[in-house]
Amino acid sequence: MRKSPTESRESEMRISLADFLKSYNQNMPASFPRVSVAMLKKFKDEHPLLFKHGDSWSLDEHRKKIIDWLPLNSTTAPLR
């Protein structure tokens, strides 16, 4: 299923860590671990090449990478 042009633009927008955290946690299935600010900061520290735009996050660019990274790192920081 294709994304509508509005959905595509929203997922590509550069947003703050707080906005990324809120969107990520709200849109994941209830059974999936939630992320915290500490976890996102750790992810950013471990993947500096993904942050060519400074402190801005992108749902399109970072969400899948967080999903892949999270299972191995979810015990390193408190959830929520």
User: What pLDDT, on the 0 to 100 scale, is given for residue 43?
Assistant: 96
For the segment 10-26, what is each residue's pLDDT rounded down to a tens digit? 667 889 999 999 999 99
Number of independent structural domains in the chain: 1
Q: How confident is the chain (80 residues) per 10-residue block, as mean pLDDT?
A: 56 88 93 93 95 90 94 62
For the entire predicted model, the pTM comes to 0.76
- CA-to-CA separations, 28 to 8, 35, 45, 53, in angstroms, rounded: 18, 10, 23, 25
User: What pLDDT, on the 0 to 100 scale, is given for residue 76?
Assistant: 46
* Residue whose structure tokens are 């990520």: 24
User: What pLDDT, on the 0 to 100 scale, is given for residue 52?
Assistant: 87
Identify the three-state secondary structure at position 57.
Answer: strand
Residue 74 near residue 33, CB atoms below 8 Å:
yes
Query: What would the two tokens of residue 47 be?
Result: 């993947």
Has residue 6 been placed in a domain? no
Domain that holds residue 37: 14-73
Has residue 66 been placed in a domain? yes
